[in-house]
A and B are shown apart, each in its own frame.
Chain A
Amino acid sequence: MGHLSGEHLYEIFARQKREDRLEHVGTISAPNAALARAYAWQTYDEQKWFEMVVAPRESFEAVNRDEEPFTLGPVEAR
């Protein structure tokens, strides 16, 4: 997906109940944290979330793989 210059990818994590774990629910493109928060909340609004957080993709450190975190590879033949 193409986006305007100055945009960053933000990863969105959320949970529906306090006892749930935060789960990765999606990714949005935004130029700053304020818009990332607004877009995340307004885009992923099918559920009633107990908590939602966003983080810029570049803030994630790869642990076991050399490629960038969140990279989608080609679908492997099953």
Chain B
Amino acid sequence: MSAAEAKGFRTAGDVPAELREDLSAVLLSLADNKRLLGMRYAEWLLGAPTLEAGIACSAMAQDEWGHSRIFYAMLKDFELDPGHLEHEREAGEYLNIELLDEPPPEWTGLVALNFLLDSALAVQFESLRDSRFEPLHYKVRKVLEEERFHYEHGRGWLARISETEAGRAALAAAFAPAWNSCLRWFGAPDGELIGRLADAGVCDADSNELRARWLARVGPVVHDAGLDLAARGADGTWRSNSGPDWSDWDGARRRSRGGGPNPGTLAAVRGDKNRTMLMD
């Protein structure tokens, strides 16, 4: 079914019950990933390799927190309480990719999040731009406008660090785990969340197509940086040189089984130190 021929959903109430849960799970996943990614950017406000990079991290952190706010707020329409979602959940309830559970130990790890993960999130947002769930249209466009510069930032740093042999080795170490996680994050090929939403016209591509779009975007850049992660096939499409490894995949949370943000991360994203000031 194409989004054009299907009747649009103006509110969550218009969404059939069996789809509503899938849609709210995708929105919560995007909100959680943006919230945590924003925190990872913010951790480099001080201590980034250059002053400009620190300023860029500050700007990207603000963007991500703004985006996560928008999507937590949208979930109110799905009868979820944004206050609870933002401040009261336990680690095991977060729908974030495992890459964000802990802070990356080095700048190359932040570049991997910036280039690989932020691009994966952008690919998912793009698939919702003309969603049958109409409240997304304007919001997704706003998000994507800002994301453009996140991609440029990641691409620029990848090119910069890959100029030296030592830089390429550091990038290879940081990018390998991030690559597998991002590849897998779009979901297993059959019968999962994204596939059901694509069938219903809520997003415009299934898991495999989203993965292909992401590979087309990040593949040429990592290849040019000398990383052995992706190659162009005879038909011109970009393919991953490995995986994904599905061995511990949890399709419902779209991450590795068990786990969640580590205690320090959880306390910070929830605002645990400010509990006495929460009004309601």
Contacts and interface: CB of A to CB of B under 8 A. Distances in A.
A6 interface: yes
A15 interface: no
B157 to A, nearest CB: 7
Contacts of B160: 6, 31-32, 35
A38 B159 contact: no
Contact of A6 (B56, B155, B163): B163
Interface residues of B, dominant DSSP = helix
Interface string B53-88: 101100110000000000000000000000000000
A60 B55 CA distance: 26
Interface string B37-51: 000000000000111
B50 A37 contact: no
Given A3-B50, A4-B50, A31-B160, A38 B152 contact: yes
Q: Give the interface centre of A29, A36, A42 by most chain B CB atoms within 10 Å.
A: A42
A34 interface: yes
B64 to A, nearest CB: 13
Interface string A2-38: 0110110000000000000000000011111111111
Contact of B52 (A32, A34, A43, A45): A43
B51 to A, nearest CB: 8
A45 B52 CA distance: 13
B155 A39 contact: no
B149 A42 contact: yes
B163 A35 contact: no
Nearest to A41: B149
Interface in B133-156: 149-150, 152-153, 155-156
Contact of A34 (B53, B55, B155): B155
A37 B150 CA distance: 10
B258 to A, nearest CB: 36
A36 B149 CA distance: 10
Contacts of B52: 28-30, 35, 39, 43
Contact of A43 (B55, B152, B156, B163): B55
A28 to B, nearest CB: 6
12 contacts: A7-B50, A28-B52, A29-B50, A35-B152, A36-B156, A37-B156, A38-B149, A38-B150, A38-B156, A39-B53, A39-B153, A43-B55
Interface of B: 49-53, 55-56, 59-60, 149-150, 152-153, 155-157, 159-160, 163
A-B pairs, 4 with minimum CB distance? A35-B156, A34-B156, A42-B59, A38-B153
Given A4-B49, A34-B155, A35-B152, 5 more contacts: A3-B50, A6-B160, A30-B156, A35-B157, A41-B149
